[in-house]
Amino acid sequence: MTAKQNELNIIQPDDWHLHIRDSEIMKAVLPATTRWAARAIIMPNLVPPIVTGADAQAYANRIRACIPNDVEFMPLLTLYLTQETNPADVVQAYRDGIIKAVKLYPAGATTNSHNGVKDIKAVYPVLEAMSDAGIPLLIHGEVTDTDIDIFDREAVFIERVLDPLRAEYPELKIVMEHITTRQAAAYVLNSSSGLAASITPHHLVVNRNIMLSGGIRPHYYCLPVLKRESHRLALIDAATKGDKRFFLGTDSAPHLDHAKIDLCGCAGVFNAPHTIEILAQLFDNLDALHELEGFVSLNGADFYNLPYNQHKMMLKRVQTPLKMKKKLETNQGNITVFDPQMPVYWQICS
């Protein structure tokens, strides 16, 4: 039997899909990410959303004002695609270095997505300009038709929306964000260059049973919703086999507890506080620690044509399980931290 590895030294990771909200909540949740990530793609679904280059610049300024001078962290901004989006504004914001990508939310698909796209063909002029300029499109890949089962929305989106879109604009760089199904993983694996996918920690470590067995557990409710075990295993296979088209996007999405435990509770999992430790344990359990650096530190940077981070991160296996924080206290209330439902013996040392 091979001895277990007790230390791991990797290039500092990034987060390629992150929600940090705004104002006081942003101040409270941002340190959970900056303690381990050097960069993060920041989601634009605020109220009101980040829809123009000027909006993105103002949001970036607010984010930077929350980062202490001794913390090195680069927020990478995105625009919220609407049917009124101006292609010239998108291209200019990208060329000016204000944004790194554009986010497509189908209207009604998730939190604060009511301003999203109802007719994909209505935004084809924007997508054409993005394709020409090399601007990545980040997609929340679900249909919202009421006749489609919520567990099938991702697979149907691929067939109805994504496949025709890629046929129309084959040079457009696309990230299928927070994929949750074996169909999505297979679609990326069977596609040509220019298509990638981000995967969350929670979709890698738990399935829908944790949300629905023994009572409804609202802190595991997210969108796309957790799927059955066979899908989780397909995501694990994609994340741990060294394929450069898959990388970490936490989709860490904090909500105050009173908004989660409500008559219509919000979708979102706050996993940022322990993301790297959880993933180190998962990859260790699967004898795949040698693939962790690629998934969390290298593959996303390669897709976005960015240099690797200069700093390194040391992880060590400890004898007793990590005592994970259960709640983040804010001046507006508590935010429950994601519980992976497994012991974690890895910790960040530097």
Could you give the residue numbers annotated as active site?
251
Q: What are phi and psi of 318, to 5 degrees?
A: -110, 170
Sheet holding 7-11, edge to edge: 7-11, 312-317, 346-348
- Identify the three-state secondary structure at position 167: helix
Tell me the one-letter amino acid at 180. T
Neighbours of 327 (CB within 10 A): 12
Q: What are phi and psi of 251, to 5 degrees?
A: 50, 30
* Spatial distance between the Cα atoms of 214 and 139, rounded to a whole number of angstroms: 33
- Please check whether residue 113 is in contact with residue 105, taking contact to mean a CB–CB distance below 8 angstroms: yes
- Contacts with 335 (C-beta within 8 Å, 6 or more apart), sequence order: 25, 28, 29, 254, 255, 256, 257, 270, 327, 328
Strand-pair category, 174-176 with 137-139 = parallel
Sheet holding 195-199, edge to edge: 15-18, 39-42, 74-80, 99-104, 137-139, 174-176, 195-199, 246-248
User: E strands along the chain, which residues?
Assistant: 7-11, 15-18, 39-42, 74-80, 99-104, 137-139, 174-176, 195-199, 246-248, 312-317, 327-330, 333-336, 346-348
Strand-pair category, 327-330 with 312-317 = unpaired
Max CA pair span of the chain: 60
